[in-house]
Structure 1
Amino acid sequence: MNERLLPVLDLVSSRTADSAWLTFTARLDTAHRADLRTARRLLAEFGAPTTNPHEGHDMPGMVTDEELAALRSASGAAFQRRASQHVRAHLEQAIRIGSAEQRAGVHPATTALATKVVRTGSAELTRLDRLDRTTAVNRDW
């Protein structure tokens, strides 16, 4: 899932000058890249295939090629609205998956990663809520 959100986060600096959005997405980008590295390391430790079994699937929380194209053509408040929707869907799905791993996981390293994903995802959703409210007030969404 993180692989599909990263291109959205990569667009932010060229689509908005909103400092709050730039700060929010920079933090999210750093955390998601770190989680992705951890997940890849765990997969390698377990001897799991390196291919993504979800590649090409459009699942909840995963940005499609069409949605990414729409984001590339938007800027400012319109971009922020669309990006916010994608980030929210991604975080909500990541929390669902992480919660399921916390309940059913058996490997301590994967349940630890899941706990981190749930904790940080919940905190980022709270930040996104505040950001959306502030942006809506400032830009009259």
Structure 2
Amino acid sequence: MFIRRTRITTAVVAGASATALVLSGCSDNNSMPGMDHGTSSSTTSAPAARSDFNDADVSFLQMMYPHHAQAVDMAKLVPSHSQNQQLRTLAADVEQAQAPEMQQITTLLQSFGKPAPAASGHDGHAMPGMMSADQMTALQAASGPDFDRQWLTMMIEHHTGAVAMAETELADGTNAESKALARTIIDSQRAEIDTMRGMLGQS
């Protein structure tokens, strides 16, 4: 009789424990870590859109991106088309300066909620200093001193256009980062224009 009563008691206790577990599982999920199934408000809301820019800033960045892309393309031609060491060094400097600026432009445009334009497919006459497709084809077909002269002449024009675009940004833009980039472009490319004019006089 004692053994049977013990078994009954054990069964009652086990049943009570199971009931407690079931009730516990039906409790409010918010009290259990990691059990939020989206019933509460999200804490990963998108950052507020920036408002510290105007249309001039966006236009400057969207035009400067393909402008830089063409300069980088021109710079990449130099090692296989020229034996002029001074020109090779200058071309490497152009690529090393403008490729990171393209990434900076992309980041800025994204922060404005604007996509970066494609580097290819640009209209050669849409921006100051841009080379046409025919000019780029002629440059690719040249080599030696003829290539050097074409490259220097084109890049002077290209840089002059970039400086003009940057000056417009300083006059009309409002975004501090875009204007800082414009100042960098003006300072660096004016210096390179002076260097290239000197090299063109020697070639």
RMSD of aligned residue pairs (Cα, Å): 1.7
Matched, 1:120 2:188: yes
Q: Which amino acid aligns with 1:123?
A: A
2:165 aligned partner: 97
Residue 24 of structure 1 is matched in structure 2 by: 90
Distance, in Å, in 2 between the alignment partners of 1:80 and 1:111 is 32
User: 2:130 matched to which residue of 1?
Assistant: 62
TM-score by length of 1: 0.88
Q: Structure 2 matches for 1:1-141, cutoff 5 A?
A: 1-52=67-118, 55-59=121-125, 60-135=128-203
- Determine which structure has more spread, i.e. the larger CA radius of gyration: 2
Structure 2: any 5+ residue segments left out of the alignment?
1-66
TM-score, normalised by the number of residues in structure 2? 0.62
Match of 2:64 in 1: none
Aligned residue pairs, count: 135
The unaligned stretches of length 5 or more in structure 1 are 136-141
Deviations 1:1-50 (A, max 9, x none): 01122221111001111111111111111111121111111111111123
Q: Quick check: 2:139–2:147 contact (8 Å CA) kept in 1?
A: yes
Cα deviation digits, residues 93-125 of structure 1 (max 9, x gap) = 000010111111100000000010111111111
Sequence identity percentage:
22
Kindly indicate whether structure 1 or structure 2 has the higher relative contact order, using CA contacts under 8 Å at least 6 residues apart.
1
Tell me the distance in 2 between the aligned counterparts of 1:103 and 1:54.
28
- Where 1:48 maps in the other structure, the secondary structure is coil
Query: Structure 1 counterpart of 2:131, which letter?
Result: V
